[in-house]
Amino acid sequence: MRKLEEVKVGPLDMANIVNEATQRLSNVIEELDAEIILPETWPVASGYGPWVEEVWVNYISNALNYGGRPKDGMPPRIELGFDELADLQTCEPANPHIRFWVRDNGLGLTPGQQECLFTPLTRLGETRVKGYGLGLSIVQRVVEKLGGQVGVESEVGQGSLFFFTLPLG
């Protein structure tokens, strides 16, 4: 991974970045008959476009692989969105970051599974999904280099919401 000093960090055209990410996954999206729901507009965050595109590709790919319930004939339903983070006391930006997220309709995760997700070489026993378990740990490194954080919110039976934050653009 390049050092942050070697990349050009600046305002991101998130609509274009998300479009590029979904285009890269279009064959899988079609094959799984997945539904992708996008917001009408995106806020401007600061980052490095190619790295942020890889974050979206990883999160969306995971939602495609783990979302839905194939045994029940339910295809993945994936919603992408954002929240502007604010201090609840003053309604002013707490630290000027935006939280971007991907929500799926998968089986959800136990608290124990959530704790180890961003650890290298972690796989949750899914044999139908190829990979080495490095994706989320790489996402974490990339986002942290850009001044953000990653995380997951999930409840068994309710799907999962994976998020990352980036500084406001």
- What CATH number is given to the structural domain containing 147? 3.30.565.10
Q: Is it the case that residue 41 has pLDDT exceeding 90?
A: yes
Q: Reduced to 3 DSSP states, what percent helix, strand and coil does the chain have, rounded to the nearest 5?
A: 35, 25, 45
Q: Is it the case that residue 45 has pLDDT exceeding 80?
A: yes
Structural domain harbouring 52 = 4-167
Share of the chain above pLDDT 70, in %: 79
Name the pTM for this structure.
0.84
Q: Is it the case that residue 166 has pLDDT exceeding 90?
A: yes
Domains contained in the chain, number: 1
Contact 164, 139 (CB under 8 A): yes
CA atoms of 66 and 149, how far apart (whole Å): 22
Tell me, what's the pLDDT at 128? 47
DSSP string, 22-77: HHHTHHHHHHTT-EEE--S----BEE-HHHHHHHHHHHHHHHHHHSSBGGGTB--E
Tell me, what's the pLDDT at 65? 86
